[in-house]
Amino acid sequence: MRAMVLDSPMPPTLGSVAQINLSEAPSYEDIGAFRLGSPQRLQSLQNIIQQIGTTGSYLAADGFEVSQDELTKILDILLRLSPSIEWEMTQAGLNELLDSDEAHTFKVELAKFRESPLTSLEDLRFQLMLQAVNCVDESQPIDFNEVEALYPEFLEATPTFANLVFPHSHLCSQWTGERDPVPAIENMEQKLSGQSVLLVAGKLDPRTAYSWGQDMQASFGERAALVTVTEVIDHGFSFSGYSCVDDVAVSYLIDPTLDVSDKVCQGNIQGRKYNPNAEVHPVKRLNDVQPHYINNRGQ
C-alpha cells in the first residue's frame, strides 16, 4: 500500500448497526444547535417535542397548531446536508416559532416542502444494498428486543432527534441472511510498517460521526493524521470543493513519506469552491433522503 486516505470513516470496533447509531447520536445535538444558531432555540424545540409527545400536537401562541408529522419533517430537514433547499425554505418560519412562539409562517413554509420518495430503480437498489452491506458486516448482531432496550439511551444521547433516528437501528434486528463480518485488525500501527494514513472527518457530519474519525485515528496509532472539517453540515470532504482539505490530501498522495500533522479546515461556504454543474455523488444524494417512520411511542 503506497498511501491511504480515509474520508468520513466508520467506527473501527462497534459490532452492530444499533450500537453504531447510538454512538453517532450525540452529534445530532451539535448539528441541531449549529443549524438553529443558538442553544436557546434548540431548547425551545425540545419543549415542543415534549409537548407533542404528551398531547399529540403543539398549540403556539398565535393559535396555530404544530402536528407530529410537521415536527418529523422539520427534524429531518435539520439534519440535511448543506446546502439544503429545504432548510432555506423553512428556516425563517422555524426560527419565528422558536423565538416568538408563532407557528403560522412555519406551517406555510413547511407546506411548500414536498418529499421526493425513492422510486427509481437506482435508489431502491441502493437502499437494498445499504441494508445488505450493513447487516452482513455485523460482527455482534443484536435482536429486536435488545435494540428496543437501547431506546432510553438514544433519548439521553439525542433528546431532539431520538424518535427520528432510533427506528433505523432496527435495520438488521430481524435480518435472516448470512453474516460475514470483516475480522477486527489489532496492532494496526505495527501492520502499517511505517506507512502513514490520512483521515478526514467533519465536526458536523450527520452520516459518520466525528468521534468515529477520532477512534479510527487512535486505532492507527501515531502513524495517522486527522484533518478536521468545521462549520459545515456535510459528508465526504476530499475533492468536494474544500480547498484546505484538498491541499493536504494532494500533498500526501504525491509524497506519502512526508510527515503529515493534524489540521483543522474551516468548511463554511465561503471557504468552498462550489461547482453548480458538478454531478452529485449518489451517496450524498441518497443520504439527503431520510425515511419517515411511524412513531408508536406517542412522541
pLDDT, position 172: 95
Q: Which three cell numbers stand for residue 239?
A: 475533492
Q: Which three cell numbers stand for residue 196?
A: 502513514
Q: What's the rounded Cα separation, in Å, for the pair 165 and 31?
A: 14
**Cα distances (angstroms) measured from residue 136 to each of 22, 126, 167, 179, 186:** 19, 15, 19, 4, 21
pLDDT, position 213: 96
What do you get for the CA distance between the two ends of the chain, in Å?
A: 50
Give phi and psi for 129, each to the nearest 5: -65, -40
- Which residue do the cell numbers 510527515 mark? 259
> Residue-wise pLDDT tens for the chain (299 aa)?
789 999 999 998 888 999 999 999 999 999 999 999 999 999 999 999 999 999 999 999 999 999 999 999 999 999 999 999 999 999 999 999 999 999 999 999 999 876 555 557 887 888 889 899 999 999 999 999 999 999 999 999 999 999 999 999 999 999 999 999 978 777 776 767 778 899 999 999 999 999 999 999 998 888 899 999 999 999 999 999 999 999 999 999 999 988 889 999 998 755 555 454 555 555 455 444 443 322 334 34
Q: Starting at the earlier edge strand, list the strands of the sheet with 197-202.
A: 5-7, 197-202, 224-230, 263-266
| Cβ atoms 138, 17 nearer than 8 A | yes
Amino acid at 66: V
**Angle, CA of 169, 172 and 173, to the nearest 5°:** 80
| Cβ atoms 98, 45 nearer than 8 A | yes
Residue in 179, 285, 175 with CA at minimum distance from that of residue 236 = 285
pLDDT, position 81: 95
pLDDT, position 287: 44
Residue in 232, 235, 211, 243 with CA at minimum distance from that of residue 290 = 235
Peptide bond before residue 9 is cis, with ω within 30 degrees of 0: no
pLDDT, position 207: 95
Domains of the chain, by residue range, sit at: 21-111
Give phi and psi for 226, each to the nearest 5: -120, 125
Three-state DSSP class for residue 235: coil
pLDDT tens string 229-257:
999 999 999 999 999 999 999 999 999 98
| Count of Cβ atoms closer than 10 Å to residue 122 Cβ | 11
pLDDT, position 124: 82
| Count of Cβ atoms closer than 10 Å to residue 50 Cβ | 13
- Burial environment of residue 158 by CB neighbours within 10 A (0 to 12, 13 to 18, 19 or more): buried
pLDDT, position 275: 52
